[in-house]
Structure 1
Amino acid sequence: MRILLLSLFLLITNLGVSQNPYSITIDKASGLPSNSIYDIFQDSKGFMWFATGKGLCRYDGNKTKVFTADFQTSKSGSCIAEDAFGRIWYCNFDGYLYYVEKESIKALKQPTSLGYFKFGIIKNELFLIQLNAVLVYDLKTLQLKHKHSILDTQIRFCFATKEKFYVLGNLLYELGAKNTIKKHPLPNRFFEEIITPIINTWNGKLIINSKSNSTYYSFENEKFSKHKLNNAPDFIQNTAITDNSIWICTPNGVYKNDLNTTKSKTYFTDQNISFVYKDKQQNYWVSTLNKGVLFIEDFTNNYIDLQPRPQSLALGKNEIFIGAEKDLVYKLNCKTLQTEKIFETESNHSISQIYADTVNDNVFFNSIKFNILDKNNQIKSEFSIAIKDVKKVDDKYFSFAASGLVGIFYIDKNLKSNWDFIYEKNKNINFSGFNQVALLINTNGKSTEYNAINNTIYYATNNGLIAVTNDGKSKEIKHNNETLFLIKIQKYKDKIIGLSTAEKLYCLDSKNKVTVFKLPYFIAKEKFNRFFIRNQYCYLFSENSVYEYDLESKKAQKVMSISNDMEATDVILKNNQLLFATSKGIVIKNRNEIGNYPKPKLILNEIQINGKRREIEEINQLNPEENDITINYSVLSFIPNENYRVSYTINNSGWKTLDENDKNLKLSSLSSGNYTIQLAIIYNNEKTELQTIQFEIKKPFWLNTFFLIGMGILFLVLIYSFYKWQILKLKRKNELQLEKVNLEKNLNQSKLKAIKSQMNPHFFYNALNTIQSFILSNDKKQAVNYLSKFSTLTRTILEMTEKDLVSITEEIKTLSLYLDIEKVRFNDDFNYEIFADSNVDADNIKIPSMFLQPFVENAVKHGLLHQTEEKKLKIHFEKVADQIKISIDDNGIGRKKSHELNQIKNNKHQSFATNAMQNRVNLLNQFTQKNISIEYIDKQNQNNQSLGTTVVFVIPIIY
């Protein structure tokens, strides 16, 4: 029964070439804001624009940018156009016009709306229908330029060509660029046949279609002609004219009617089509009202719609065997591209591995079981083993990798092979199967390959890469002493190339040396999930692309992009045609045309300086604080879903690659200077579409030349001033040193004067006379006593000359010696008293040496000497706070009387006490930074008669 069903099945062939071309879908999953698309347009830069149910959007082949604003009355619309200033216009279905300028959407100031009608852009003018008028705007200023009166209440349609704007009402109005209006009467019964008109242009003619029937009119040279469409639908949503054909867009597909031959074709009958657009790269874009946009490279037969989806491909002699889902095997005729089912079951199993044995005309594939078909498409054998890969070893044997074991098998046992020894050695009569032997068991085989150069079979397993030779030996092949986990291995000449579970490629030579497979830079970082070697080419499948790497020339190129709604699983190269097994069917590409694909384009959208948009021509010179720069760019791919990396360099430094998902180059906190920024697309391992931006960031004022010169001069002035200041400081220091020396000199001279005062010749003369008188009077005791005091005083004075300070005790001792000697001169009428208070530490408190003696001498010599009555002198030391107060009190004739007597004796006499001692006090205060004061008190009675003099010293305590 099974054979009968299979025989009946083989009598049925499927001519499965679909009318639908291969397409890539761009929808909400691709970034569109809505799947409802009403219009398509390509601007002068190459961007595609879509008027969607949720606003106008721009598409660069990968990314979508939507332009909407809250001030719009509605967002869905149509009629996209571009003016000479690069603005993109469209009209929403409320009849209001909007335009995109400098990356933002703006509204045209128009008085009101008549509802949705197409507007027109002719040169630098915009034509807009309004109630009873056509408004003409100057596109440069966007100001109303002209207003043409049209008193027609039956406006049906508006359309613009490159030269004229047409309004279809009760008449056909033709508006030219010179503000002229021509009125053309319509044919009789025109609106009975063209109830709801749609206008297009073709070869200088207007083509006026009806939405509800096949009749259409052409208008040329002011004449209308009537025509009929073949195979016209009942309802027309829109029309487009390209390739000398009118494309009728309907809810049930698009009808292509050749305007020259009247031949017609129908595509996408399961789609609600709204528009067909052909871009400058000769690609087609078909908009739908429910499934986004369909991108079609061409409408020729480059696609075989196989459902269930194909999974694996195997090249036979003149055919390609296709393993598909739901346990289907197809045979594809390479010449006619007709497919035929050669195997089918009711299973939902997917045939992910298929192999064609061109020597024995067998086909091996694995579904629920491992199957072998003969040349008549009959099942030759089937076995319950899950084989993952089969490769030819020689004319007799094949190697296989399966779940649980790996080994070899043969088809014709009568053939001879140098692998017969291995087969017999491992043969197990208890192991049922298909003439196979297991070389390794308890291992999961993933892939296998045979290298004839070293006569070795390789198995990629869950335990690593295992090499088996025909002498029965096996060993693991490692990389850097680590196990290799490969999911697929393929042979090219004397090398084995393998793809690891980490999505890296490795190369194994005939000496079993493993190296990392080297790829060109632009794809080296890609992650590959599968690869296939076809002839001299290695086809690498990544998530988004398929690359071809020439194993001879070492060059690589992208051969196909993989969209979000498509998966590619296998590829075959036949007659320079690439056939890909994809989730949409078999996609066919001509290898010779791959390099002719349009190259991507790099477009600079805008430049922001410190977050604010600036035009490129406005950034030649920037202020120092304008140093945060963002360059927004687009990589325009004319084939959807093709991703290209962008690299940049600054001032010819090393190139750096940007993140392909972030289309912004951000440069923060740039220093002052000149900058040349270059951006380029990495395309087929080359830099292309080089874009250059040059600008200068000015130096801050403190880095300008004049400022630096001024600062340099100021710095030199400061250095000079500092130098002068140091010189003055040194001079002042020297002056202070000199002043100190002079002060010490003066102080020493003052001290010498005190000594001279103490030891003046008159004093010595009087003292020696006194001693002589004692000797002459034979008063030896007195003479010896007086002489002892005199000598002690002399020695003490000489000792005190070596000291700056002396204790109060030493000063009292010296004064006592002096006064004892002077007392002899006054006989018995002179008495003195020297005492210190009990709180005065006389032994430790210091006063300047030879300080009191001149004042004491002055009191004796000038005050007491001329006193006729009893002569008294009292010296008192007392402590007041942190000072020593010294009083020298006498009852002499007073300073005034003494001065008068001195003037009589010597007109030039000057008192030592009032001059020399005051000078010494000043010098001491200056030299020691002490505040020593002298106060003279002239004592008088009630009759103003002198009672003597008191000199008071106040000296800070010194220890």
Structure 2
Amino acid sequence: MLKKTLLFIVLLLGLHFLCAQEPVSIHLTEKDGLPDIEFYNVLEDRKGFIWLASDSGLYRYDGKTYEQYTNTEKRGLSVFGLFEDTQGRIWCTNISGQFFYVENNQLITFIDLKEELRGQLGNYSIRDNKLLITTSRSLYVIDLITKKILLRELYGNGGARLLPLDTGYMLISFNAVKIFNNDFKETNQFVLNIHYRDIKGMATAQGHTKVFKLNEILFFSQQFRYKNMFRSINLNTGTTDATIGLELLKNKRIIVLKVIKNNLWVLTNTGIYIYENDKNEFTLKNQILKDEIVTDVIVDKDQNFWVSTLTNGVHLIPNIEVVKHKLPKSSDDIMAIDKVNDSVVFFGSKSGVVGFLNVDASTYKTSANLGNKVSAIQYNSNIGYSYVSIDDGAYFVNNKTLKTIKKQEFLGVKSFSRVNETMTLFGTYIRLAFLDNKAESVKTFSKNKRIYTTYYSENSNTIFVGYVDDLLVLDNDFKATTIRYNDKEILAISITETADGIVWVGTFKNGIFAIRDNQVIAHYTTEEGLLSDQIKYLNADENSIWIATPKGLQVFNTDKKDFKNLTKTDGLLSYKISGIEILKNRVVLSSNKGIFSFDKEKVFKTTSEPEIYFNDIKINEESTDLGTDYDLDYNQNSVQFSFNVNGILYNINKTYQYRLVGYNNNWITTDLGLNTVKYSSLPVGKYTFQVRPTSIIEGAESNVKSIKLNIKLPYWKKWWFILAYSLSIVGLIILYYKRKLKKKEIAKELEIRQLSLDNELIALKLENLRSQMNPHFIFNALNSIQEYIMLNQKKLASEYLGKFADLIRTYLSHSTKGKITLQEEIDCLEMYLELEKLRFEDKLHYAISTSGNLKPDEVNIPTMLIQPYVENALKHGLLHRKTNRDLRINFFVNEESKTVQCIIVDNGVGRAQAEKFKARSRKNHPSFATKATQDRLALLNYGKEKQIGVVITDLFEKDIPIGTQVDITIPYTTD
């Protein structure tokens, strides 16, 4: 059997195709947001930010966004040579001789050496507060504080490069070495035993010297006649020795030499060459990124490799140990693998291609397309043929030639299990059966029942079968025993067995079960450490189990009962794993993204706990300065927190947990890729916003970041405002009631005043009435009645007496009213003037007229207002006229101004002549009726907006008085 296996390997190697293997990497380009594709250097600072020096400038990357740094003094865009000093400042330079550093998030120009360097790009470092710069032919030492050039040395031989030593510095050129102490005092020098000139004395060296230290040995590289030469150097003896094993690099364009993880990394125009070292001997370990011009590489705090290239962006290698084996593109989606030996696996793809992959030699051989996806395979070394089942067919495949023989007995197989050298067990979607070495069916155990997985245990000589609805165990006599857990079925998807004889069953949704003697002895779920209760595949490795889940790959140590995890942040390109095989110290995975392998011990990285930090806080949609405590007004209650963990892999594959203590004390997990939380309208109160990475160890509060908020009460809810408001309300109430009482008092006073006025008005009315009913008028009226009686003119006496009685009755009736209609006033005037006309013996002519839109009976005016002025016209104007006494009274209703205009015109002797008559009659007492009327008008006008107006005008004709006109304006009402 061993001879056959060896023969197969020899044949495989003889028919191999080159199968390159590359570490799994994430290629960052402009479509991923990368600001450029031409990069010269990459650096991780102490805070975990990635800095990139590119053709378009200096950038800082936090795992999500790129921030550019520049200033107005900078000439050109490109920067080179990233360096972090002891103060955490990031330095860079350019070909114009400018040196910069970033401090307080600003790019600051430190010094401009344009005239010194003259376009040469200097290699530099910073040590002991000195900026150390070397070009091919010069050395500059500059004080960081004073910016003075402390040392300037020129070297005609070229190739100068400075290397810091423990107690000073070494400066190496093409032909010599100088040793300086920390103060740059030369302590030693010696000439290299290298011929850098030809027999004609012409220099044969080019470029720069490159120096590195590996395993406590100093090495340097120089270029002579455009060929790379590597030597070691002994500073004690001043001698150099040639190295062995780096001959492959002789004609390469070497860009940078770096020592990473105790290996030499040579960055060239054809990728990276990684060498192991033993003294002066080097052994090529791997070559990666062969198609790239690599300019720099670093390893960050999480053991991720960042590789910058000159023309193709940046490659991020999450795990240098996880490699992908390149296969034909048509074979990348692998459905199943089976171990051939400790170097070779047999595989089948979704495209229907099967083949052999030599993991160590990076070679493969594939078959023709079988026409449909491979569902299961079984490598058989005993007969030289292997079993391959596709969804609609079955094949016997020759292990040497990969030629196929079509079969019908095992199409659509879900699982093969090797029982012994002559028998293979298989299960399909409809039956469980056995095959012999000729791929012919021997026995069918069950029909019409779907099978997901099978496993043959050599330890117990039993067969485990995972049906669609149960887990069965078959003994030698094919007696079936159902295995259940807590009276519930176990739905198996994959079965394996550890060295201690325990059978492990992975299920669709219930984690994994440990079974011994057909009894479940242990059950593991996410509560015990599984990444997921949904299991994709299991395979045992001694007393450990490799477990594939939709959330990552795990290895479970059954002795220590602990889990180790591998996720996409550790280099896994896919979680859709279809098979796991153990080849010595290597684990081989098949997946929809191809075949991967890794060293099972070296693959687990030592990573730092993700450090979270706040990068922005917005209050009412406006960014504010970052702090730890915020006192906010009641209307500053829209708050957004932004946070981050530096590193692209965390932001791609991890989430965060947050809570707002005081609002909701439960931790909430963000969606993938989300690193902002917003609270739109927080109520008044005190809160603490806390956020942490999801990978934090439970109970470890050190990696929880917090911000305190105090949203203050509005001023109208504060005690002093409430007190002031309450006091104000009480004061207003008191003031209100005081004013109300005062108004009542004023109203009472007004009421009393009004009563007084009313009393006065009544008295004046009575006085007015009395004045109207003056003795003359009554005497004359009674004399007239007597005269009519004596003349036996009974009818006239009766008529006169009746009119007199009507007038007296009307005056008495009106004296009780405040208002009468204009028509009533006119009627009363008619009665009065008729009697006066009789008294004047018909020598009085009068006329009363009205005009306007409203009728006289629709307008109300104060009582007893017109008659006194008519009486004055008769008594003082017309009485002294012997003949042709004329009196005209006109009423005009002005609807627009709501007034009645009364005009009384007489052709009497005038007021001046009347006063003379009055003086001759020796009656100097004032007219009582006139005074009463004036007092009454004052009372009627009191407190009114519209007032009664009286204008008396003397009428003249050529300075001779011809009468008097009285204009009375009376506001009226219509109610």
Structure 1 length-normalised TM? 0.70
Please state if 1:197 is matched with 2:200.
no
Map of 1:833-852 to 2, 5 A cutoff? 833-836=846-849, 847-852=861-866
Aligned counterpart for 2:245 among listed residues 226, 231, 247: 231
Q: CA RMSD in A?
A: 6.4
Q: Is the 8 A contact 2:353 2:367 kept in 1?
A: yes
Aligned counterpart for 1:218 among listed residues 225, 233, 246: 233
Task: Give the partner amino acid of 1:797.
Answer: Y
Q: Is the 8 A contact 1:362 1:372 kept in 2?
A: yes
Q: Is the 8 A contact 2:91 2:102 kept in 1?
A: yes
Partner Cα distance (1:759, 1:214) in 2: 152
In the alignment, what sits opposite 2:904? 887
How far the C-alpha of 1:634 sits from its partner, in A, is 4.1
Map of 1:273-422 to 2, 5 A cutoff? 277-280=298-301, 293=315, 295=317, 297=319, 311-314=335-338, 322-325=346-349, 327-328=353-354, 345-347=367-369, 351=374, 353-354=376-377, 364-366=387-389, 369-371=393-395, 382-383=407-408, 386-390=411-415, 400-401=427-428, 406-411=430-435
In the alignment, what sits opposite 2:126? 121
C-alpha spacing 1:266/1:87, structure 2 compared with 1 (3 Å): same
Q: Secondary structure in 2 aligned to 1:150?
A: strand
Q: Secondary structure in 2 aligned to 1:116?
A: coil
In the alignment, what sits opposite 2:283? 264
How far the C-alpha of 1:186 sits from its partner, in A, is 3.0
Structure 2 gap segments, 5+ residues each: 198-203, 456-462, 475-490, 497-502, 514-523
Aligned counterpart for 1:559 among listed residues 549, 562, 566: 566
How far the C-alpha of 1:224 sits from its partner, in A, is 2.5
Please state if 1:144 is matched with 2:147.
yes
Please state if 1:793 is matched with 2:807.
yes
C-alpha spacing 1:457/1:753, structure 2 compared with 1 (3 Å): farther
In the alignment, what sits opposite 2:519? none
Aligned counterpart for 1:754 among listed residues 759, 765, 768: 768
Q: Is the 8 A contact 1:894 1:947 kept in 2?
A: no
Q: Is the 8 A contact 2:232 2:243 kept in 1?
A: no
Aligned counterpart for 2:191 among listed residues 180, 186, 210: 186
Please state if 1:572 is matched with 2:584.
no
Q: Is the 8 A contact 1:26 1:32 kept in 2?
A: no
Higher alpha-carbon deviation: 259-268 or 385-394: 385-394
Partner Cα distance (2:635, 2:129) in 1: 39
Partner Cα distance (2:878, 2:33) in 1: 125
Q: Is the 8 A contact 1:157 1:168 kept in 2?
A: yes
Higher alpha-carbon deviation: 586-595 or 196-205: 586-595
How far the C-alpha of 1:121 sits from its partner, in A, is 1.0
In the alignment, what sits opposite 1:636? 646
Q: Secondary structure in 2 aligned to 1:144?
A: coil
Map of 1:499-510 to 2, 5 A cutoff? none
C-alpha spacing 1:936/1:813, structure 2 compared with 1 (3 Å): same
Please state if 1:933 is matched with 2:944.
no
CA deviation digits over 1:148-197, x for unaligned, max 9? 23143444233353775554447645566546565634345464698752
How far the C-alpha of 1:830 sits from its partner, in A, is 5.2
CA deviation digits over 1:857-881, x for unaligned, max 9? 334455566x484583624225486
Partner Cα distance (2:59, 2:408) in 1: 56
Instruction: Give the fraction of aligned pairs with identical amino acids, expressed as a percent.
Output: 21
Partner Cα distance (1:843, 1:283) in 2: 111
Q: Is the 8 A contact 2:22 2:289 kept in 1?
A: no
Partner Cα distance (1:152, 1:626) in 2: 66
Q: Is the 8 A contact 1:407 1:440 kept in 2?
A: yes
Please state if 1:916 is matched with 2:923.
no
Partner Cα distance (1:75, 1:767) in 2: 128
Partner Cα distance (2:140, 2:432) in 1: 83
In the alignment, what sits opposite 2:160? 157
Task: Give the partner amino acid of 2:415.
Answer: V
In the alignment, what sits opposite 1:581? 590
Task: Give the partner amino acid of 1:241.
Answer: V
CA deviation digits over 1:749-793, x for unaligned, max 9? 433332222235675566556656766787655553443233222
Higher alpha-carbon deviation: 706-715 or 88-97: 706-715
How far the C-alpha of 1:82 sits from its partner, in A, is 0.5
How far the C-alpha of 1:601 sits from its partner, in A, is 3.2
Higher alpha-carbon deviation: 548-557 or 490-499: 548-557
Q: Is the 8 A contact 2:232 2:241 kept in 1?
A: yes
Q: Is the 8 A contact 1:645 1:659 kept in 2?
A: yes
How far the C-alpha of 1:340 sits from its partner, in A, is 13
Q: Is the 8 A contact 1:878 1:884 kept in 2?
A: yes
In the alignment, what sits opposite 1:874? 887
Task: Give the partner amino acid of 1:581.
Answer: S
In the alignment, what sits opposite 2:458? none
Task: Give the partner amino acid of 1:209.
Answer: S
In the alignment, what sits opposite 2:259? 241
Q: Is the 8 A contact 2:413 2:426 kept in 1?
A: no
C-alpha spacing 1:20/1:847, structure 2 compared with 1 (3 Å): closer
Partner Cα distance (1:161, 1:629) in 2: 50
Please state if 1:27 is matched with 2:27.
yes
How far the C-alpha of 1:28 sits from its partner, in A, is 3.9
Q: Is the 8 A contact 2:632 2:712 kept in 1?
A: no
Partner Cα distance (1:342, 1:171) in 2: 50
Task: Give the partner amino acid of 1:692.
Answer: K
How far the C-alpha of 1:266 sits from its partner, in A, is 3.4
Partner Cα distance (2:530, 2:751) in 1: 85
Q: Secondary structure in 2 aligned to 1:161?
A: strand
Task: Give the partner amino acid of 2:273.
Answer: V
Q: Is the 8 A contact 2:337 2:581 kept in 1?
A: no
Please state if 1:680 is matched with 2:703.
no
Higher alpha-carbon deviation: 352-361 or 562-571: 352-361
C-alpha spacing 1:786/1:86, structure 2 compared with 1 (3 Å): same
Q: Is the 8 A contact 2:581 2:589 kept in 1?
A: no
Partner Cα distance (2:63, 2:876) in 1: 124
Partner Cα distance (1:626, 1:845) in 2: 67
Partner Cα distance (1:37, 1:761) in 2: 131
CA deviation digits over 1:673-710, x for unaligned, max 9? 97754332112785887453647799899899899699
C-alpha spacing 1:345/1:750, structure 2 compared with 1 (3 Å): same
CA deviation digits over 1:627-658, x for unaligned, max 9? 99876654335978962113444555445555
CA deviation digits over 1:346-392, x for unaligned, max 9? 55777452358999999753259524699999999933764151377
Q: Is the 8 A contact 2:435 2:441 kept in 1?
A: no
In the alignment, what sits opposite 2:482? none
Partner Cα distance (2:79, 2:838) in 1: 140
Aligned counterpart for 2:83 among listed residues 81, 84, 100: 81
C-alpha spacing 1:589/1:704, structure 2 compared with 1 (3 Å): farther
Task: Give the partner amino acid of 2:801.
Answer: L
Task: Give the partner amino acid of 1:602.
Answer: I
CA deviation digits over 1:377-431, x for unaligned, max 9? 99999337641513779999967446xxx33333479xxxxxxxxxxxxxxxxxx
Q: Aligned pairs, how many?
A: 879
Partner Cα distance (1:393, 1:216) in 2: 56
Q: Is the 8 A contact 1:538 1:550 kept in 2?
A: no
How far the C-alpha of 1:119 sits from its partner, in A, is 0.5
Higher alpha-carbon deviation: 567-576 or 371-380: 371-380
Partner Cα distance (1:279, 1:858) in 2: 123
How far the C-alpha of 1:818 sits from its partner, in A, is 3.5
Structure 2 length-normalised TM? 0.69
Map of 1:376-525 to 2, 5 A cutoff? 382-383=407-408, 386-390=411-415, 400-401=427-428, 406-411=430-435, 489=493, 497-498=507-508
Q: Is the 8 A contact 1:313 1:571 kept in 2?
A: yes
Task: Give the partner amino acid of 1:295.
Answer: I
Task: Give the partner amino acid of 1:200.
Answer: F
